[in-house]
Structure 1
């Protein structure tokens, strides 16, 4: 009985240490560790992998207009939609406030671009039903911008992230609400 209770407590502590409770995504540290491990396997011939970095557009204005509680509900909503629409082997992590990383395993860049675009359309089409202290129940629309690139054999996760992040900034500079290919820096 004691061992069973110990195991349950250990599982709970591991979950708290690795999962962002608001979004259901991996915390940054866990995402980075697991992504690096997956990429090392990919470099050993395990198949392609692609990375997307996603940022919720104008998130600060959601917080400013509707309050931080509504902003938290939007984060949870986006996290839930993304998390439930990924494949089992994909990694999903919250790498900053309203910024997420998705490592799509066994996925080349063209397929990754299509899958992230599909997620973008899903988010646009699903308003978040939030509770605002000032406004009561409200429907909050949001969009995201994303940058995507494919892993190159032998490179570091940092290099891959830098390219995807550069593409994310290209998406933002083109008006947001789009997915950009890091190689082509096009896509909106």
Structure 2
């Protein structure tokens, strides 16, 4: 009897690496836009089906262009990395935190109502406000963010309805002086 044996460990590891590259933002090591929206659509449908709460926070770094212009893109990258490092350990395992693009991030909060969503957004704003980035061991660069919050409504037909409100709320927060949380019901 003749038999063959193949070690598929390397192939499996390569497959897992490709899966990670497809879902993870290379700079911040948090989820990327594609992963966020794929999972957000599934979570939206589940929340609608079971009539459960769902909230979305959109957040954006205030005056990020000025940081890049004054200190350079490597410092801007460090700001984005620091934001991811600060927020990640403070959210629940079931929350989906992603970099949507540039300096914009979103957090999907399953089973979170308006009140808890607002508490979470304010907590994150305060967290970043109290943790400036130290540049070259001497310059303290404050991190200010604006956040928009929305919660699922019975009239929402798809996740994009919910997300569009959080995005509109984000821009409302920016127009009200930045470093604010704004909610659109």
State the distance in 2 between where 1:44 and 1:15 align. 29
Shift of 1:46: 6.0
1:1-188 → structure 2 map (5 Å cutoff): 2-45=7-50, 47-131=52-136, 138-153=139-154, 154-183=156-185
The superposition leaves residues 41-83 of structure 1 with CA deviations (integer Å, 9 ceiling, x where unpaired) of 1111162110011000000001011110000000000011111
State the distance in 2 between where 1:10 and 1:151 align. 35
What stretches of structure 1 move > 6 A for 4+ residues in a row? none
Instruction: Provide the secondary structure at the position in 2 that maps to 1:84.
Output: helix
State the distance in 1 between where 2:157 and 2:179 align. 29
Count of aligned pairs between the two proteins: 179
Please tell me whether the aligned partners of residues 24 and 83 of structure 1 are also in contact (alpha carbons under 8 angstroms): no
The superposition leaves residues 6-35 of structure 1 with CA deviations (integer Å, 9 ceiling, x where unpaired) of 111111111111100221221111110011
State the distance in 2 between where 1:7 and 1:152 align. 42
Over aligned residue pairs, what C-alpha RMSD do you find?
A: 1.5
Q: TM-score, normalised by structure 2?
A: 0.91
Alpha-carbon distance change, 130 to 9 in structure 1, aligned in 2, over 3 angstroms: farther
Please tell me whether the aligned partners of residues 73 and 130 of structure 1 are also in contact (alpha carbons under 8 angstroms): no
Please tell me whether the aligned partners of residues 163 and 182 of structure 1 are also in contact (alpha carbons under 8 angstroms): yes
Instruction: Provide the secondary structure at the position in 2 that maps to 1:2.
Output: coil
